[in-house]
Amino acid sequence: MKESKTSLGSIENNKDSIQKAKGKLLPLTIVKIVLVFLALGLGFSIVCMSMARYFWDKSLAMQSITRFQPCIGEETSLEKWIRPPLNLMHKMTDEQLFWRASLVPKVHNYPFKRVPKVAFMFLTRGPLPFLPLWDKFFKGQPHTLYSIYVHTLPSYKPDYPSSSVFHNRQIPSQVAEWGKMSMCDAERRLLANALLDFSNERFVLVSESCVPTVNFSTIYKYFVKSQHSFVGSFDEHSPHGRGRYNWNMAPEVEADQWRKGAQWFEVNRELAVTIVEDHKYYPKFEKFCKPSCYVDEHYFPTMLSIETPALIANRTVTFVDWSRGGAHPATFGKHDITEGFLRKITQGHTCLYNHQNTSLCFLFARKFAPNTLEPLLNLAPMIFGYG
């Protein structure tokens, strides 16, 4: 009996021990299960993230291929590099534009059929009062022979008709003030934009008061066949010449190198790049040539006479009348426009062209008042040969 009680006690003690052991094992099992689920969850998350990144990268790659695939042929063709900009109103700064325009191929032979063009660069404040006359001048001429660029005040919004050759030919512009460096900046801006077209070989600067005094074919041949660029550059021993020299210009510009010339120039492509890329003379003229030193009369003539004297003709092709005196040339009004007056502009002159004497010295004339448009239109076919 005693032994039975002892056995029962042992059994009950064993049961208690088992229950306690189970109580201890249960939390440990739960922890293991939780850890297993956490490990599975973490692994699943990593797999999902990897798959999501894979498909995202693949999606971006497909989008890139889809977006750029139509341009693959264009990107690798020469046409991309020689085609002129379709839209002149770009967003480049002057610094970016001048850098882009000064890129020059080192191989002189063009790997494509290049027809040289004349770039007509119009430096204006606003409207072109002689637009109908210029349209007649360009009428019927192949677009492969010329291009047009217009620099105005930035506030001016041109409304050239779609039928005009001036339609959509305005470039990004800034304020240009007479006699100040901003005027030369505008001229460099015109040159730089025109240089973006590899076919432009000659570059002529004209104003809104300027008109062509011969027909297009004559001007084209005159420029394209010329061995020189038409930049006036002369040493004037007067208060309006050397008297404007500032000794701080040295050593870049010595007193005996100081030159003066007309603002309205014509240059070939080589000299256009020289003007646009200049950083040697620009700071000197910007700092030390201020009114009464008129920088547009001295900067380019001086620089080109120093750097490329053999390439300039030392004369301009734009007729002006200084006989009336003053800081500006004479302005011709409606009553000045007669057959005899216009023939005096086109005849009776002698100059050098390719080292030979010629009577054809002026291709343009200024300054004409807006009210001269009608008589000029009437006389242009007879005197100028167009219209």
Residue 23: per-residue pLDDT:
53
Cα-to-chain-centroid distance, residue 170: 11
Residue 3: per-residue pLDDT:
47
Is it the case that residue 67 has pLDDT exceeding 60?
A: no
Q: Which region among 191-205, 226-240, 313-327, 349-363 has the lowest average model confidence (pLDDT)?
A: 313-327
Residue 4: per-residue pLDDT:
46
Q: What does pLDDT average to over the chain?
A: 87
Residue 63: per-residue pLDDT:
53
pLDDT-based confidence at 79, cuts 50/70/90?
Answer: confident
Rounded mean pLDDT of 119-134?
96
pLDDT-based confidence at 182, cuts 50/70/90?
Answer: very high
The string of pLDDT tens digits covering residues 310-366 is: 999 999 999 999 887 777 789 999 999 999 999 999 999 999 999 999 999 999 999
Is it the case that residue 184 has pLDDT exceeding 70?
A: yes
Residue 130: per-residue pLDDT:
97
Is it the case that residue 96 has pLDDT exceeding 50?
A: yes
Task: Tell me if 266 sits within 8 A of 204, measured CB to CB.
Answer: yes
Is it the case that residue 240 has pLDDT exceeding 60?
A: yes
Rounded mean pLDDT of 364-372?
97
Query: Whole-prediction pTM value?
Result: 0.80
The string of pLDDT tens digits covering residues 254-293 is: 999 999 999 999 999 999 999 999 999 999 999 999 998 9
Residue 43: per-residue pLDDT:
65
Between 50 and 381, name the one with better pLDDT: 381
The string of pLDDT tens digits covering residues 2-61 is: 444 444 445 455 555 545 544 554 566 665 665 666 666 666 666 556 665 655 555 555
Residue 65: per-residue pLDDT:
45
Rounded mean pLDDT of 203-210?
97
Between 77 and 347, name the one with better pLDDT: 347
Q: What percent of the chain has pLDDT over 70?
A: 80
Rounded mean pLDDT of 151-176?
94
Distance CA 44, CA 41 (A): 5
Residue 87: per-residue pLDDT:
85
